Amino acid sequence: MSAVPQPILRVEDLHIWFDLAGGGELHAVQGVTFELKPGERMGLVGESGCGKTTTILGIMGLLPPSASIAGRIELEGEEILAKGEESIAPHRWNDIAMVFQGAMNAFNPVQRIGDQIAEPMELHGTATGKTAKAQVRELLELVGIAGSRADRYPHEFSGGMRQRAAIALALACQPKVLLADEPTTALDVMVQAQILELLLRLTRDLGLSLILVTHDLPVVAQLCDRAAVMYAGEIVEMGDTQTLYHDPRHPYTRMLFAATPDLLGDDDVLSIPGAPPRLDHEIVGCPFQPRCDSAFEPCPTVHPRTIELGAGREAMCHLNDPTATEAVS
């Protein structure tokens, strides 16, 4: 037996397509594979449209009807994708829950916050009546809101408090995995710091595993142990956050860091030329090649393999592949 803890969540070769209105398909997620260990905090970063939100909606089984999905999703060893809704539904919110993007603004304005948090408890049968009420108070206290405020309405909460309540809502059925989609994006920096501290405390105290979806690299650097960088529907690099910053092995990761101004940094902030490719037709070669500053011979024609670069570290770039140039000839 190895001492390495078993992953709580394993995603293997996940593909998601959307049917387009005018015919054709958009291949939004193209073979995403990763593992999440118990208590681990993982960041999923990338530009808009790279497939990060689609990936976690796929894991939640909450894709719109126009989407189709393939691959494997294992929750504590159990394959939950095989039977579609039937196999995902028992786990949704009970084992795996989500803080949606903009969730803080999605509360029903005419219903008390406490009742809205109790709703999933009653729906999933984890608690009802008085027990649910008591659990709501506990949950609110846990996220840093006085339990007595359960009777208040959303408009009586500030933005930061509504975001805390949205996190409490996700924790209503005591999930093991929390997926948070841009949970701090619309918040002020001080409130952002409060929410990041809360997420850190929840993973430490409750052993919750977290996937943080964001476009903000410094937020990931602050909160997460590990990060996966997504581009055009693929994970192009993965590793612990320190190594990603100090030794990026995919040019996109390096260029993304260089495009992010750092508070104390002196280096020039450089934009990445061009735009991500459209995903409604097949991409030949490396999807990042047209924007890449290090592209060479094989890049326009050969799609790079994912190369393992040590423990939990991988990159999808020909620069790491000694056989890459041979493939061209």
Partner 1 sequence: MSTAETLLEVEDLVTRYPVPRGFVGAVRREPKLQVHAVEGVTFNVAPGEMLALVGESGCGKTTTAQSVVRMVENDSGSIRFRGQELSGLGPSDMRPLRKDIQMIYQDPYESLDPRFSVRDTIEEPLLIHGVKMSGDDRETKVREAMERAGLTPSDLYIERYPHELSGGQRQRVAIAASLVLDPKLLVADEPVSMLDVSVRAGILRLLDSLRADGMGILMITHDLSTAAHFADRICVMYLGRIVEEGPAKEVVRNPQHPYTKALISVVPKRDPRQQTEPQILQGETPNPVHVPAGCRFHPRCPIAEERCKQIDPELHRAEGSQTDDHRAACIMV
Judged by the rule CB under 8 A, the positions of this chain that interact with partner 1 are 47-48, 158-160, 188-194, 196-197, 215-219, 221-222, 241-242, 245-246, 255-257, 259-265, 269-272, 275
Distance CA 166, CA 207 (A): 19
Positions of E strands within 118-258: 177-181, 209-214, 226-231, 234-240
**What token pair was written down for 258?**
């260089």
Closest distance to partner 1 from the beta carbon of 6 (Å): 26
Per DSSP, the residues of 176-217 read SEEEEESTTTTS-HHHHHHHHHHHHHHHHHH--EEEEEES-H
Our CB check for partner 1 shows the closer of 126 and 245 to be 245
Closest distance to partner 1 from the beta carbon of 283 (Å): 18
Closest distance to partner 1 from the beta carbon of 217 (Å): 6
Cβ count near 180 (within 10 Å): 26
The H or E element containing residue 33 is strand 25-36
Cβ count near 1 (within 10 Å): 3
Closest distance to partner 1 from the beta carbon of 82 (Å): 36
Our CB check for partner 1 shows the closer of 130 and 246 to be 246
Q: What is the DSSP letter of 264?
A: S
Our CB check for partner 1 shows the closer of 78 and 197 to be 197
Our CB check for partner 1 shows the closer of 105 and 222 to be 222
Q: Is 28 helix (H, G, I), strand (E, B) or coil?
A: strand
Between CA 97 and CA 102, with CA 99 as vertex, the angle to 5 degrees is: 155
Closest distance to partner 1 from the beta carbon of 42 (Å): 14
Our CB check for partner 1 shows the closer of 75 and 256 to be 256
Closest distance to partner 1 from the beta carbon of 224 (Å): 9
Our CB check for partner 1 shows the closer of 71 and 218 to be 218
> Counting beta carbons within 10 angstroms of the beta carbon of residue 220, is it exposed (0 to 12), middle (13 to 18) or buried (19 or more)?
buried
